[in-house]
Structure 1
């Protein structure tokens, strides 16, 4: 790839948002190229055996004609596609890669090391030593830059301490003592999968009692049912419907209100389909709710965790399934000068300030996915938001 090549748009990241934006931009005549390994974060940074929390009909990537949906992929492959039947992450990864082959043929399977701005264009330095120039950049960084760690674990390193986004093959934990921190679906599911893989697992959660999603009811069949209790990618009810479908309205709300809504909406809860598996294996000794880690110290090859209440645990590994915190300063794929030019809602320690077309304060630099949640709402945390992002960004990209 020649260093003088100039694209209309470079999409950094080949997950659901990056691929969806590229599909729409390409269809509009923009010379767009995606950089990254398709669905890499989903394939390599989520535990094997997990399932999507979102319904299959809320898990489509987006192309202009909605030709390459999860529904169509499952039909072609003879796989289950039903409301109330969770989709395995392995199926979703295969679907995303199929989508890429159909809708986004111009992809360079190589990570971007650094993005800089030179004049009115951007320069991308790639991991293979090549470079490319582009008139615009869409940053689809996903969740990997933003892991949130409990304060007591900051400074402790892998493999003893890991964020859940760094956990993939759970077979390596067979026979190990592992503490999982968190009270949401990620923590509960990882704890169950670790237990089933042969680990001795303790779940530590600050919440006084774990919360669970209810069994999903049937989809509304009549107009009256849809009016009474509408469905959305975020769940049933008008509140979720507004957050899922009225992102333009949400962006006009005060920034502090938006950030609070994103923080509180769809908080830590376990999925209904994993509850039985959890409760069969985790008694009060192995599911310590109302508890937090106050300190942690290495002891040989292991860790000693000090818990609130004065108790201690000695373990081989700690996995923190404690969510993500979007901050401009963590977007280290952007060069220092370029990152410094990106305005944040609370400075560099907060999420980026974005315009109506997902445009940052740097002309030509757009951000989609989790990085846009504080602007457009909690749907940006889920695959269901990809269609809105793609349809909104693509018309503003050069061609």
Structure 2
């Protein structure tokens, strides 16, 4: 009996990789809740920053784009750069993609993955089942990677929606902050949209922008320069190169690769968010957050101003919209020995051709692959590059 390939994760990258593997006739077992991060860990009413062209989950055959889903669902097509995608529509698109192309999805959790003597991997599911896979594709998305800076951690014993400090990924319904004083730390789209949605729900919101970051918004599609090439992220030569040619990215110096992943398309609000934000949300730009504490159950942030003063900011709650950090140590479903074998760079797996790690048969796609293949792997459109190449490499190496 041919051992299957295990795909862990059922978000856009996991579903796309599984669809490509199935199209090659490779036996696949896929595990996870479809689109769970998009459905349960994004705020209700959120709109995607990415354009429709950058939001297609790559499939091995035609007929599975976001526009195709809109046609099948009987809703207006989302196709132009000016069309804005509700998160609920995108989640439903992913679930439709899964039903069409990955119907055998198993809604169970992988508890552990270990190397098996003689080759392959042994996986344990939360159902208690043990089985062997010839290869494993890790596509767990943002799960377990929420980043809380240490200067915010002192105010709470871990981020929690009901505690003094939480992470933006822990909130689906922001209406619970109606009538409350809320501090949102960050200057990227997640911070600005969370702040706008909370303000619209009746909260009094201040955004705390740290360091040299300023609250800014991108240009509308009709305001972008026409003499530059189009990319899924906007018109710029650098964005075009990073999105169309991720192949050589992994050969750049490590410092350059990690810098570009952090800074390209860094903190910037979507063009359509400006009118909902300005005049409704207060912005406080500080040099740094020096520390935090809790006073009578409420958070207190100690900040250093750009003038060199120290001040305290108080509120009913702090939401850290401080992004995600890839760290192999946080992927505790990977066995300790397996994690110890992996070659890493600043906590991220070092990947070779075809998205394979230093452990033969173990592949990573999505955000964990960004340090090797560039910022495009932070976005759904990265599936167009990653999935066919991963499937081709795996088929050749384990065919």
TM-score, scaled relative to structure 2: 0.91
1:172 is aligned, of 173, 176, 187, to 176
Equivalent pair of 1:204/1:288 in contact (CA under 8 Å): yes
1:57 partner SS:
helix
1:114 is aligned, of 106, 112, 115, to 112
208 and 117 in structure 1: CA distance in 2 versus 1, 3 angstrom threshold: closer
Equivalent residue, structure 2, for 1:60: 56
Residue 145 (structure 1) shift: 2.5
Equivalent residue, structure 1, for 2:215: 210
Q: Does 1:83 align with 2:88?
A: no
Equivalent pair of 2:146/2:325 in contact (CA under 8 Å): yes
Q: Does 1:261 align with 2:260?
A: yes
Equivalent residue, structure 2, for 1:30: 26
1:201 partner SS:
strand
Equivalent residue, structure 1, for 2:326: 326
Q: Does 1:199 align with 2:203?
A: yes
Equivalent residue, structure 2, for 1:358: 355
Equivalent residue, structure 1, for 2:235: 236
Equivalent residue, structure 2, for 1:299: 295
Q: Please give the alpha-carbon distance, in whole angstroms, between the structure 1 residues aligned to 2:213 and 2:237.
A: 28
Q: Please give the alpha-carbon distance, in whole angstroms, between the structure 2 residues aligned to 1:216 and 1:88.
A: 18
Residue 317 (structure 1) shift: 1.5
1:15 is aligned, of 11, 14, 35, to 11
Q: CA RMSD in A?
A: 1.8
1:242 partner SS:
helix
Unaligned runs of 5+ in 2: none
Between 1:148-157 and 1:55-64, the stretch displaced more is 148-157
1:108 partner SS:
coil
Q: Please give the alpha-carbon distance, in whole angstroms, between the structure 1 residues aligned to 2:295 and 2:250.
A: 49
Q: Please give the alpha-carbon distance, in whole angstroms, between the structure 2 residues aligned to 1:385 and 1:317.
A: 35
Equivalent residue, structure 2, for 1:51: 47
1:123-143 Cα offsets, whole Å, 9 max, x none, are 222223223321100000212
Equivalent residue, structure 1, for 2:366: 369
Structure 1 stretches of at least 4 aligned residues deviating more than 6 Å after TM superposition: none
Residue 204 (structure 1) shift: 0.5
Equivalent residue, structure 2, for 1:391: 388
Q: Please give the alpha-carbon distance, in whole angstroms, between the structure 2 residues aligned to 1:219 and 1:70.
A: 24
Q: Please give the alpha-carbon distance, in whole angstroms, between the structure 2 residues aligned to 1:333 and 1:18.
A: 16
Residue 385 (structure 1) shift: 0.3
Residue 369 (structure 1) shift: 0.4
The total of aligned residue pairs comes to: 383
218 and 153 in structure 1: CA distance in 2 versus 1, 3 angstrom threshold: closer
Q: Please give the alpha-carbon distance, in whole angstroms, between the structure 2 residues aligned to 1:39 and 1:219.
A: 32
Q: Please give the alpha-carbon distance, in whole angstroms, between the structure 2 residues aligned to 1:83 and 1:324.
A: 27
Equivalent pair of 2:230/2:236 in contact (CA under 8 Å): yes
Residue 64 (structure 1) shift: 0.8
6 and 153 in structure 1: CA distance in 2 versus 1, 3 angstrom threshold: farther
Equivalent pair of 1:204/1:291 in contact (CA under 8 Å): no
Equivalent residue, structure 2, for 1:249: 248
219 and 270 in structure 1: CA distance in 2 versus 1, 3 angstrom threshold: closer
Equivalent pair of 1:219/1:231 in contact (CA under 8 Å): no
Equivalent pair of 1:22/1:104 in contact (CA under 8 Å): yes
1:340 partner SS:
helix
Equivalent residue, structure 2, for 1:123: 122
Equivalent pair of 2:299/2:316 in contact (CA under 8 Å): yes
Q: Does 1:189 align with 2:186?
A: no
Unaligned runs of 5+ in 1: none
Between 1:183-192 and 1:254-263, the stretch displaced more is 254-263
Q: Please give the alpha-carbon distance, in whole angstroms, between the structure 2 residues aligned to 1:337 and 1:95.
A: 38
